[in-house]
Amino acid sequence: MKRALIPGTFDPITTGHLDIISRASQLVDEVVVGVAASPNKNPLFSLEERVALAQESTKHLPNVLVTSFDSLLVDFAASIDAEILIKGLRAITDFEYEFQMTALNYQLNKMIETIFIMSPPQFMYLSSSIVREIASLHGTLDGFVTPCVKAALEAKFAS
Ligand code: PNS
């Protein structure tokens, strides 16, 4: 039974994340989407909201489940018996940060392997922060997020 963990802040989950999650779900028996508390990032959505939006957005994927964590990533991965971390890699700008995190996580726990899935060109530019900015300026969110995330973003910026 191969279980992979896809970690992130998911503030909120985007169609770029979903592309990675759904491709990862074809490669392993079970994917756990780990929503990090990330209090230092001052998220727009609460942890509970981010988990609920990720759950709703992945409900069509039978071997994907969503949960939150507020510990070290490698400790959380070990606690759920996930030996694989899967990350999405968009452009060269992601590389330096991910390179550092991968080396650090490997140093912390050598039993856990990090694997990258490259984002396809149509999602290279997409990020949660871009989506939040579009929503804050009342731009169109179609194609960037699922309908439930769109509704949640519109509600946040309704005033
Ligand atoms: O979607 P993000 O914000 O780029 O995800 C970053 C995340 C959550 C994967 C990263 O911050 C993380 O692993 N947080 C958990 C705490 C931890 O283990 N940090 C790295 C070692 S200091």
Which tokens in the block code for residue 17? Answer: 């994340």
Read off the pLDDT of residues 126-158 as tens digits, 9 standing for 90 and up: 999 999 999 999 999 999 999 999 999 999 999
- Ligand 1 near 77 CB (within 6 A): no
What is the reported pTM?
Answer: 0.97
Percent of the chain with pLDDT over 70: 100
Over the stretch 34-85, which tens digit does the pLDDT of each residue have? 999 999 999 999 999 999 999 999 999 999 999 999 999 999 999 999 999 9
C-alpha to C-alpha distance for 116 and 123, rounded to whole angstroms: 15
The pLDDT value recorded for residue 159 is 72
> Does 128 participate in catalysis according to the annotation?
yes
Out of 5, 32, 38, 51, mutate this one to test ligand 1's pocket (max ligand atoms within 8 Å of CB): namely 38
